[in-house]
Amino acid sequence: MFYALALMLILPRKGRIMLGISDPTVGGANTETGVIDRPVEAEPEVMATNGHGTAAADGTRAPAAETEDTAAAPPVPIPIPPIVIRKRLVRGRYRSTSGSWQLALRVDVDGNRPTRRVSGDFFTVSGATTTYFGSFIVHSPTVTTTASQVKIEGTGTFTWSAGAPKIRLTIGRANLFESPKPGTLEFLTASNSPGATYFCPFESGFFRTVSYEQDSVAGTVPFLSYNTGSLPQPAGSPARVLTVPGAFAEAGIELLTTGGTNVIPVGAAGANAKWNDAELHAAMVNHFSGFTNTPRWQVWMLVATSHDGGYRGIMFDYGDAFQRQGAAVFYDAIGGADAATQRSQLRTYVHELGHAFNLLHSWQKNLANPPAPLGPNGGLGDLSWMNYDWKYQQSANGPGGAAAYWAAFPFQFTENELVHLRHGYYRNVVMGANAFGTGAAEVDPDLFDTPLVDNSGLALDLRSPKSGFAYGEPVVVELKLSGTELRGRDTHGYLHPNDDLVSIAVQQPSGRTVRYRPMLRHCVDEDRAVRVGVDKPALYESAYIGFGADGFLFEAPGTYRLRATYIAGDGSRILSPVLRLRVRPPATRADEAAAELLLGEEQGQLLALLGSDASQLGKGVSAIETLLDRFPDHPLAVYGRLVKGINQQRDFKELTTDKTLRVREANGTEAASLLGQVAEASLAPEDGVDNVTLNLAMRTQAMAEAKAGHPEQAHDVLRQLVRTFENKNLNPLVLDGIRQQARETAEAIDAAG
């Protein structure tokens, strides 16, 4: 009797046993610790008993025996509740390690937000080496659950031609106090003949495990946690304390932190607290320089002060093993201790790390390979970590913006994002493998299809600043977004393809269609609303697209077809007319030799970054020096002077492998000389660099003169800048913008003293 009463005291209502343990196989995520431990409903095993502790045959309590004293009232039996023995969830990662094959198996039919899928990755083991072989996914299995086992059957989709594409997975059901039971995976042919069988012991309640390292620059305060109940949130979304690992734990992904955050002193940087793309790129390649050039479940986050472009975060994606392995967030743009700011910080961290797992922005999923379906309103209606709060728009005419987003966002990934995180093919998810957004470089040719209806009130033009480009010449394009209605249209001002709201598709002379992808992906997580109309008829932008995450796009002579897509503020997709662009073959051996000195992989990175001190790009720097020494008068030499001049004008911060900050001071005299030669070579139409690059070069030249101690020469350069463009017969609005940029540069020079 004492045992029965004690059991009643520890058993909660509805048959749940609440345990003071953290068991990843029990259910939802403890978002403070990153461990799955919230209790969830599980199928109970019920043992019915009679009043003497014995079960009747039909499961009911047996009647009490009669006594000789019929005058006495029969004793009232104390009701004993049924004993509920809860079962562990059949969910998580299993692994077979026998023989020459290794199988990582993911079972997702139970627990928190199950996607009802099974997937796996095969690796071959040879001696002391392990090599990835291929992956499979079973998208719609049949799941049969009994008291003793779960059986999962279905036909898989494989990365190779599988002779036995059907699977039968059997996993025994364990009581809550038992260890999880292993699974037996059988492969079957289409006619149900047996193939290979794998015995897979349970490994983890998480589907994937990633090593997560975070460093911070002194003066920044890395994000710790946010209580989702601190501010209003949607009904049905539980209030909980979320860390970055906790947010991924709810998706079934384990982020294992490598220890305390390294704090990087910045005393050597002086007043230059801002980071540019070249410095961030150098920091990232230095960080990973000690690792082999292979995919690995490892990601690095740098908490920096600020980006010179004002961004909140970026993701590194430039090639080789460095694709999707690092990200950075900028404290000056997202920092603060109030609840709204902490909430925004959490979203920014998870968003950038989501990119590292190869998740695209919500409105870009159709550009993946294979393409994923877009959510409501072309993806802008997604309530996801991967959307921007300011970009959220449930429908074209419905409520949108940050307030609407946070009122409805449940702090989770969407269903198709969960499928990718948990079950995407290994090389499409693991860091350092397939490129961002794609399992190959091909892009759906539908990017060239014109919409049947366009009531956006906006028009997009893609232009070439030159009638043709020389072999090896960096390809720059100009974009113009204009209004087509007198009353104007509200939209955003992000027109550069590096900002991910404009895509440029390139059909090469071979017929292959690729999409320009930047080396560093800027997340423009800030609303910059503009009205394109009478007062501002158009927006303009110039972009170097010759080299990106996939290397050079224009390295072969021939005719290229380009088309751009702009995602407007309301979700409209504005397509430009097709631009035909020609790359001329080399006319002489000198043309070919000069071009080859610019077409190396490292030279392409230097062109995209406008120079760098990264030691890993030493061969590229040497090739550019050779170009300037051997072919100083060749038209392509202007690009070598541009890259070298801009890099010499800036103090360059380099974060070394031992986490110290080394600063190389600017060389104003050399920079001014190099950029002055760039300006001189670009005065005639179609000579030298394009107009936007010339504007940048001359303003940078003025700053270099100031750093060299020549303030009057600096102002002379800015006056010459304005005169140069006044002689080019530009649009008056464009010319006004150039004058304003010259004034702002002069003011900055004067303020610096």
pLDDT in tens, 617-671: 999 999 999 999 999 999 999 999 999 999 999 989 888 887 888 888 999 999 9
| 362 and 407 together in one domain | yes
232 domain residue, yes or no: yes
Per-residue pLDDT, 145:
94
> What CATH number corresponds to the domain at position 470?
2.60.40.3880
Q: Which of 175, 204, 233 marks a domain boundary?
A: 204
Per-residue pLDDT, 568:
86
| 147 and 182 together in one domain | yes
Query: In terms of Cα–Cα distance, which of 95, 112, 213 is closest to 421?
Result: 112
| 129 and 267 together in one domain | no
* pLDDT tens figures, 221-274: 899 999 999 999 898 899 999 999 999 999 999 999 876 667 887 765 555 678
Query: In terms of Cα–Cα distance, which of 301, 285, 281, 300 is closest to 220?
Result: 301
Return all residues near 621 (Cβ < 8 A) that are at least 6 apart: 602, 606
* pLDDT tens figures, 372-385: 788 888 889 999 99
Per-residue pLDDT, 586:
94
| 152 and 184 together in one domain | yes
> What CATH number corresponds to the domain at position 408?
3.40.390.10
User: Could you tell me which residue, 158 or 19, shows the higher pLDDT?
Assistant: 158
79 domain residue, yes or no: no
69 domain residue, yes or no: no
CA distance 562 to 581: 8
Q: Which tokens in the block code for residue 297? A: 């479940």
31 domain residue, yes or no: no
CA dihedral 39, 40, 43, 48 (to 10 degrees): 50
| 194 and 228 together in one domain | no
| 629 and 738 together in one domain | yes
636 domain residue, yes or no: yes
CA dihedral 348, 353, 355, 356 (to 10 degrees): 160
- Rg over alpha carbons for the chain, rounded to the nearest Å, is 31
Highest-confidence range of 1-15, 451-465, 728-742, by mean pLDDT? 728-742
550 DSSP 8-state letter: T
Do residues 475 and 554 lie in contact, with contact meaning Cβ atoms separated by under 8 Å?
yes
Highest-confidence range of 77-81, 140-144, 448-452, by mean pLDDT? 140-144
| 177 and 228 together in one domain | no
Per-residue pLDDT, 290:
61
CA distance 386 to 498: 17
| 341 and 404 together in one domain | yes
With 60 as the cut, is the pLDDT of residue 13 above it? no
* pLDDT tens figures, 688-733: 999 989 999 999 999 999 999 999 999 999 999 999 999 888 888 8
| 397 and 256 together in one domain | yes
User: Could you tell me which residue, 9 or 604, shows the higher pLDDT?
Assistant: 604
* pLDDT tens figures, 559-595: 999 999 898 888 788 889 889 999 999 999 999 999 9
84 domain residue, yes or no: no
Q: Which of 527, 553, 585 marks a domain boundary?
A: 585
Return all residues near 521 (Cβ < 8 A) that are at least 6 apart: 314, 315, 317, 355, 436, 498, 500
The three-state secondary structure class of 492 is strand
CA distance 432 to 435: 8
By CB atoms closer than 10 A (0-12, 13-18, 19+), residue 79 is exposed
Q: DSSP letters along 359-375, please?
A: PPPGGGGGGSBS-----
Per-residue pLDDT, 457:
85
27 domain residue, yes or no: no
Query: In terms of Cα–Cα distance, which of 278, 303, 330 is closest to 606?
Result: 278
Q: Which residues in 58-193 belong to E strands, given as ranges?
A: 83-86, 91-96, 101-108, 117-126, 129-138, 142-145, 149-155, 157-158, 166-172, 183-188
CA distance 612 to 131: 35
With 50 as the cut, is the pLDDT of residue 11 above it? no
Q: Which of 536, 562, 585 marks a domain boundary?
A: 585
| 369 and 236 together in one domain | yes
Q: Which tokens in the block code for residue 616? A: 């890993």
Do residues 456 and 437 lie in contact, with contact meaning Cβ atoms separated by under 8 Å?
no
Number of domains in the chain: 4
| 739 and 611 together in one domain | yes
Mean pLDDT of the chain: 83
Do residues 589 and 542 lie in contact, with contact meaning Cβ atoms separated by under 8 Å?
no
Per-residue pLDDT, 10:
35
Q: Which residues in 290-411 belong to E strands, given as ranges?
A: 298-304, 306-307, 313-316, 326-330
Per-residue pLDDT, 126:
76
CA distance 360 to 605: 23
| 191 and 223 together in one domain | no
Q: Beta strands 149-155 and 166-172: pairing type?
A: antiparallel
681 domain residue, yes or no: yes
Q: Residue 242 is part of which domain span? A: 208-428
